[in-house]
A = this chain, B = another copy of it.
Amino acid sequence: MATVRTGSNLSQIAASLGVSAATVSNALSGKGRVSAELAEKIRATAADLGYTPSLTGRALRTGRTGVLGLVLPDIANPLFPQIAQAIEFAASNAGYGVLIADSRGDVAMQTEAINRLIERDVDGIIIVPRRGTRIADIGCPVAVIDSPSTPGNTVSADHWQGGQAIVEHLASLGHRKFLLIGNNPASNVQNDRIGGMKSRLPEGAHADVLWIERHEQTHGKGSLLGLRQKADEGFTAFAAVSDLHALRALTELQRAGVAVPEGGSVTGFDDLIWSSAVTPGLTTVRMNMTEIAEIAIAALVRVIEADPVSSSGIPRTATGTVAAAGRPGVPMQLVVRQTSAPPPPINRA
């Protein structure tokens, strides 16, 4: 519908100048082969006519649509806004559009979502998988944003280092008894975060891990996590692998009369929208989504554009995954919102 917009196309510019469409194309794309004066005249006319190229026409000719697909299997993912924004920004800067596909939380529907994108001729796909789902080799370049522990991963935050930053901070405040709160023991991301946290426990410190999924299997969905009792047992640092779990911990503690942060500190991950809205704010650690998105898009674009379209318009056959070999995770940044020292050990069990 470029023609709807502007009413102008290559042929019209060509006609109005008495040159050929090919020359206009060459001039506009700066592919040389056109004298400076003529090129200038062509550009001026194009601007006059408000010409914008039809990406559809170009796509049909070149075999590239200039569109990337974004797949987030875990729909309700509260990181979605951050991710989508960063990806769209990076893609747009690289000259690509972003088509979304949703698998409605159903891992099995992931394939279907991907197929919808492929049918629309996307040049590449960005996937943010959940629970370490492996992405089958589809006939299209793919960038996976997950944890460095995920095979085939392209880029990710350094979740391990994020965990270290959290525990270092809590330890420096004086905390020695940590309750690490996770949701899903099968998640690479969560395991990296917890691993990092454990790796920085100070001398003589103690850490337990509370897996909510397991807890709810015995205590029922949405049940209390028993944090009051944990506090009574002397736990003072409640470090969750996500802000959502941190929020759950914070409100449960407050509801049970444990003052936060004086009676216990609560930390999360990802700096989601509510982390700064609650009282007290959550100490957390944030990903550099801008950089992660840039790396993912750059890797994808490299594969897409490195594979030259055959001169006769025969489409390229690029497939497979962008290699991530040895790429370190992108560092996470600590956001401190609670700075109280733990209560004196007198209170502890």
Contacts and interface: CB of A to CB of B under 8 A. Distances in A.
B104 A89 contact: yes
Contacts of A63: 1, 3-4
B3 A315 contact: yes
Contacts of A4: 63, 139-140, 315-317
Contact of A100 (B98, B117, B122, B260): B98
Interface stretch (A17-25, A48-56, A128-136, A169-177): A48-56
A118 B5 contact: yes
Given A64-B1, A273-B76, A55 B120 contact: yes
A211 interface: no
Interface in A82-106: 82, 84-85, 88-89, 92, 97-102, 104
A207 interface: no
Contacts of A317: 4
Contact of A85 (B102, B120, B244): B102
Interface centre among A1, A65, A121, A247 (most CB of B within 10 A): A1
A36 to B, nearest CB: 27
Contacts of A248: 277-279
> Copies of this chain, how many?
2
Contact of A119 (B55, B250, B273): B55
Interface residues of A, number: 70
A2 interface: yes
Nearest to A121: B1
Contact of A1 (B56, B70, B250, B315): B315
Contacts of A316: 4
Contact of A81 (B75, B97, B99, B123): B75
A252 interface: yes
A95 to B, nearest CB: 10
A222 interface: yes
A111 B279 CA distance: 37
Interface in A230-245: 244
A254 interface: yes
Nearest to A254: B254
Nearest to A337: B222
A26 interface: no
Contacts of A5: 118-119, 139
A199 interface: no
Nearest to A105: B85
Contacts of A2: 119, 121
Nearest to A252: B279
Nearest to A98: B100
Interface string A263-296: 0000000000110111111000000000000000
A33 interface: no
Contact of A78 (B54, B56, B78, B250): B78
